[in-house]
Structure 1
Amino acid sequence: MERAIKKASDKTSENYKEILFEGYGPFGIAIIVETATDNNNRTVANVRSYFNKYEGSLGTAGSVEFMFDRLCHFKIRTDLDVEELELDLIDFGIDEVIIDENEILIYSSFENYGIIQKELEFRKINIISSEFERIPKQFKTLSEEKKDKVNVLIEKIEEDDDVQNVFHNMN
């Protein structure tokens, strides 16, 4: 009994594995679920049950991933010459620079993450945050009533402790 309690409370020794789930929610909404788990069986069972219970269907690898672009983005400080920075970083594969009142957002394809990060660090530009996203190539518009039904599934998935990100193509 003590060993079981120690194992359950000592999460530092666990090996976490990333698992990607793909499926369709109600009304054909494409959903990608990124997870990090120390128990594959638990996570697979949980995600499958959410899709089944809330009128979705869990798909196979590649069933919806092609419907999304995988991007990275960086948030940096706003006290820089944005035009000069954008021109300098084009050679590193940036796709878009968006200026917000509190930050500058730099978007690029997933594959360019490492070289852009190194270049920003080389220039001593403080990276506030960086992350990966999956942006739908096409959005699907639903009525408010149908959106509510899909949102119930998405919220249930997001509540799971193993779930890191949920992406969908609902507008």
Structure 2
Amino acid sequence: MSGHSKWHNIQAKKGKTDAKRGKIFTKIGKEIVVAVKNGGASPETNAKLRDVVAKAKAANMPNDNIARAIKKAAGDAESVNYETITYEGYGPSGVAVIVETLTDNKNRTAANVRHAFSKADGNLGALGCVSFMFQEKGEIVIEKADRDEDEMMMMALDAGAEDFNAEEEEVFVVTTTPEDFGAVREALESEGIEFLEAGVKMIPDTLSAIEGEDAKKLQKMLDMLEDDDDIQEVYHNAEFPEDWEG
């Protein structure tokens, strides 16, 4: 079984991700604030908070940091109110890009997103202009290590996964419906499986090849967006060259 995740190709380079770990923790902390405000501070009764905590653990966020973020969100009734805003548009070579934000200043965020697109000769479009090329899916990424492929596949499918991809060189990619993500994640966790990534995201139906100067422009745009504290996630359908170094 396989999918279109192309995990290695689509994700930020691991070295860059490691270098920006503090920024990642800050963004996850904002998601914790929103989850606690909307559903309470107990992961046992707040499914969204459970999912965010799983995402935090997959990003190697220390348990103490997670606990402090939950406690702070629960005790600070006057904390910032974040608004969720999604932007869609096209990067170089017509690559489809979706930007998800949590912001307390939508004018600032809109200006920053527009600037990043324009610097790469891209352009923002109306909401819905590219999202039809993606599907919302739960995605769990597991390091292969010495794990048995057939055993992992049966474990994932028995837990309710929609798809299991073993085509990537270093990882297994488990795909679920958004509704089943939490149950599948918890079932795998109960088997002692640790995740490199775990979250509900937008996965492209097909990939669009990009190379040369356009690839450099897109990478710079993605870096600008991911460096912005207001921006939580950036999804795209670009397929960089196999030897791409960013």
Q: What range describes the TM-score normalised by the shorter chain of this pair?
A: 0.7 to 0.9
Cα-Cα RMSD: 3.1
1:106-121 matches, cutoff 5 A: 106-121=174-189
Partner of residue 153, structure 2: 86
Q: Normalized per residue, which structure has more strand? A: 1
Unaligned segments of structure 1, at least 5 residues: 1-9
Structure 2 CA distance for aligned equivalents of residues 75 and 166 of structure 1: 17
In structure 2, do the counterparts of structure 1 residues 59 and 99 end up closer, same or farther at CA, with 3 Å as the change threshold?
closer
Structure 2 CA distance for aligned equivalents of residues 141 and 100 of structure 1: 18
Conserved? CA contact 2:93–2:214, under 8 Å = yes
CA deviation vs aligned residue, 1:68-106 (integer Å, no higher than 9, x gap):
222222245867765345335425133015398987542
Partner of residue 69, structure 1: 135
Partner of residue 120, structure 2: 54
Structure 1 CA distance for aligned equivalents of residues 169 and 114 of structure 2: 41
TM-score, normalised via structure 2 length: 0.54
Unaligned segments of structure 2, at least 5 residues: 1-71, 240-246
Partner of residue 165, structure 1: 233
Partner of residue 81, structure 2: 15
In structure 2, do the counterparts of structure 1 residues 54 and 145 end up closer, same or farther at CA, with 3 Å as the change threshold?
closer
Q: Give 1:38's match in structure 2, choosing from 86, 94, 104.
A: 104
Aligned length: 161
* % identical aligned pairs: 36
Q: Give 2:224's match in structure 1, choosing from 156, 163, 166.
A: 156
Q: Which protein shows a greater Rg?
A: 1
